[in-house]
A = this chain, B = another copy of it.
Amino acid sequence: MLSKKTKYGLKALTFIARNEGDMPVQVSKIAKSEQIPSKFLEGILLTLKKAGVLGSKKGKHGGYYLRKEPSEILMTEVMRVLEGPIAMVPCVSLNYYEKCDDCPDEHKCSVHKLMIEVRDSTLKVFRNTTLADLSNTKR
């Protein structure tokens, strides 16, 4: 299941991509428009900021803005930040590999083989999709 965190995060990014002029966008505006609990969203955007996807400006008239063009923000990046590893098992994860306790030999493991295929096909989608696709903006 996709977590609410990721769902909200994607919606928020889409909103920001669509509403970006010169001014940063406030959490409260996004929360209201997208029906997301404001305090919860606060934490999500903070995470995206720490990961380098968003920038922020504090104080009055502050808010969040994209640090790259929507077309340069890949879903691989966003999903990894919000949802964690793309692979369904650590033993096929590219970025967070871990050996299984059980499994004496990975190459003979039936689950391993299947999960590599799933990972690759999902990765293909995420690598081919940017925030520009989600938000229908051209940049």
Contact = CB atoms under 8 A, between A and B. Distances in A.
Interface of A: 1-2, 7, 10-11, 14, 34-36, 75, 88-89, 102, 109-111, 113-115, 117-118, 121-122, 124-126, 129, 133-135
A57 B124 CA distance: 44
Contacts of A134: 110-111, 113-114
Contacts of A88: 1-2
Question: Per DSSP, are chain A's interface residues mostly helix, strand or loop, or mixed?
Answer: helix
B34 A102 contact: yes
29 contacts: A1-B88, A1-B89, A2-B88, A2-B89, A2-B111, A2-B115, A7-B89, A7-B111, A10-B111, A10-B114, A11-B109, A11-B110, A11-B111, A14-B110, A34-B102, A35-B102, A36-B102, A110-B135, A114-B125, A114-B133, A114-B134, A117-B125, A118-B122, A118-B125, A118-B126, A121-B122, A121-B124, A121-B125, A122-B122
